Amino acid sequence: MKLNPGQNEAVNFISGPCLVLAGAGSGKTRVIINKIAYLVRECELPARYIAAVTFTNKAAREMKERVAQTLGKKEARGLKISTFHTLGLNIIKSEVKTLGLKPGFSLFDDKDSMSLLKDLTEVEFDGDKELLSGLQTCISNWKNALILPEDLKHQTLSPSDLEHAEFYQRYHNHLRAYNALDFDDLILLPTVLLKNNETVRQKWQNKIRYLLVDEYQDTNTSQYELVRLLVGERSRFTVVGDDDQSIYSWRGARPQNLVLLQTDFPKLRVIKLEQNYRSSERILHCANILIQNNPHVFEKKLFSELGYGEPLQVITAKNEEHEAERVVAELMAHKFMGATKYKDYAILYRGNFQSRVFEKVLMSNRIPYKISGGMSFFGRTEVKDIMAYLRLLVNQDDDNALLRVINTPTRGIGRVSLEKLGNLANHNRTSMFEATFDPNLQDVLSGKALVSVEQFGRWIVELSDRAVRGDGIATIREMIKAMGYEEWLYESSTSPKAAEMGMANISTLFGWISDMLEGSELDPPMTLQEVVNRLILRDMMERSEDDEESDQVQLMTLHASKGLEFPYVFMVGMEEGLLPHQSSIDEDNIDEERRLAYVGITRAQKVLFMTLVKERRQYGEVINPEPSRFLHELPQDDLVWEHKKPKVSAQERQQKSQVGIANLRNMMNKN
């Protein structure tokens, strides 16, 4: 497809900083791919000096595939396409000594972090989940704002923040003692290092001579600063974003970063992409009218050449159950009349709790569906167990990993024994693993527990040595067999089927590890340490990503739908208190809720249905919600409210009937 004038300008401008304001469905990824090709072919910049950064592994994979199709392996050699966190991890690995870390550092996921915080605050919080969650969020916010524990000593803090600051210091000290990093450290550490160390900064500015950033409106403070430090005074970069699709303020995203660019880079070229290749003109017209109610620094107006399209349908139901029944009935009728597929339909909602009633009705009608946001592959118990063993093989100082597997499968090492082992480790200021070889171990443990702990320690050392020095794949296979995990899984699972599925998951994990250790044409072989870190990072980044392309109705939150598109979309729960959400109404944050509605509307390619109810159960009581203000902000000439629908003529009914009969014949012929 030929580039339009805006896309062409965005691709060819390389002499300075560039902001591409890319509306929904305007082909922004295409611009990034073509710009990389332009830099390599026309500007003769070797691919190894170019980096492209995005937010999810899925987006990074898709970009890699499209670049490979455009450039070919030879020209693309050395090109860096990754998530922000993977880029951060690569900088840390390269500068590990400067950062004062040992090479074999571990990565803590959010559950590991929570477990550590729970231990560190046992006296004060007594395991209170709400207090712990608040602390974890507070520490994450500080890290994203590039605030280290020592920085807080010079700030005036409230009593609760003072307590959090003390815990932050403890948490920081323990991570360092464990030679471990958490998710936020992957951005914090490289950013602070680049800021304070000119030699390292110049080195990386020379390594990355052109930087491209996708979904720039989703960057937080630390990510913005990392970009600024990497591009330096040369300012050779392109960022692509859309302030109208900034919907992640609750996790630190700052759409203001788009505006900040103009301040930090006065020569910034702003290029708008306004032609949408996804939706009908009517859908875009409605989206434009809605979003105009928000304040804008950059004005833009999406347009389409795909025809005006069908009116937006507004369906009113009695209650949640009736809403689900109406949606499913409408979906089935539409599918039958249009001879479409289930995967052409998406049901979008504001909160996960809304999905349950839709799942129930879809199941009762035997309609296949996929709900985004379910348990990830890496969240499964058996996968977490094997991953903990692998973490221990590459870093024996990983106490969290040891605690998870030292008695999995059961080895007769109880909680009391583990507590005694932990106390010995703390007394000697060593890891718990080191404590398994302590000459005084027999003073604190005895009997079966002592023998099991000593045997476990020796076994891990032996395995680790073989895995690192010899055949990693064979060692891992032998490890799973030797520990009797399969037998234990069948004994402890709820059913043989569950155990079977668990072993299938382990087999999948083993396949991934084998592939990474062996390498391929595109990716060089990795060490076991690199494999483990890559898998931990994948777990963090891909909690709910699923590449399976099956014929299923898609159920997801409006937040999860961003970046996706579907021919037919149902936006459900269009009521005050749901969209906009009550918490946003209370906090006067309607603008972001409006952007969320805008994202939902622009997911639809052909037809958009919106539903609301007259009564809804909330916290045990029945309420009568008002229709969402966003419904009233849309151009009413483009909406068909169910109660205002014009009567269908006899001719229209006959035409509809003929289409239905024709589709029925087609279905029968296929069978």
The catalytic residues are: 28-29, 214-215, 245, 603
Helices (H), 72-197: 73-76, 84-94, 110-120, 122-125, 129-144, 149-152, 159-177, 185-196
| Three-state DSSP class for residue 293 | coil
For residue 54, the SS3 value is: strand
How long is the chain? 671
Classify residue 303 by its DSSP letter.
E
Instruction: For 343, list phi and psi in degrees, rounded to 5.
Output: -70, -5
Tokens encoding 57:
């592994």
Q: How distant, in Å, are the alpha carbons of 215, 222, 517, 594 from that of 145?
A: 19, 6, 36, 26
Nearest Cα residue to 516 out of 503, 529, 504: 529
Inter-residue contact 382 to 420 (CB < 8 Å) = no
Name the nearest CA neighbour of 49 among 190, 204, 210, 201: 210
Quickly list DSSP for 178-221.
Answer: TTEEETTHHHHHHHHHHHH-HHHHHHHHHH-SEEEESSGGG--H
- Measured from the Cβ of residue 536, the count of other Cβ atoms closer than 10 Å reads 21
Apex CA 53: angle with CA 595 and CA 564, to 5°? 40
Whose tokens are 């990716």? That residue is 523
CA distances from 469 to 103, 105, 184, 475 (A): 16, 18, 32, 10
For residue 310, the 8-state DSSP code is P
The values of phi and psi at residue 140, to 5°, are: -60, -45
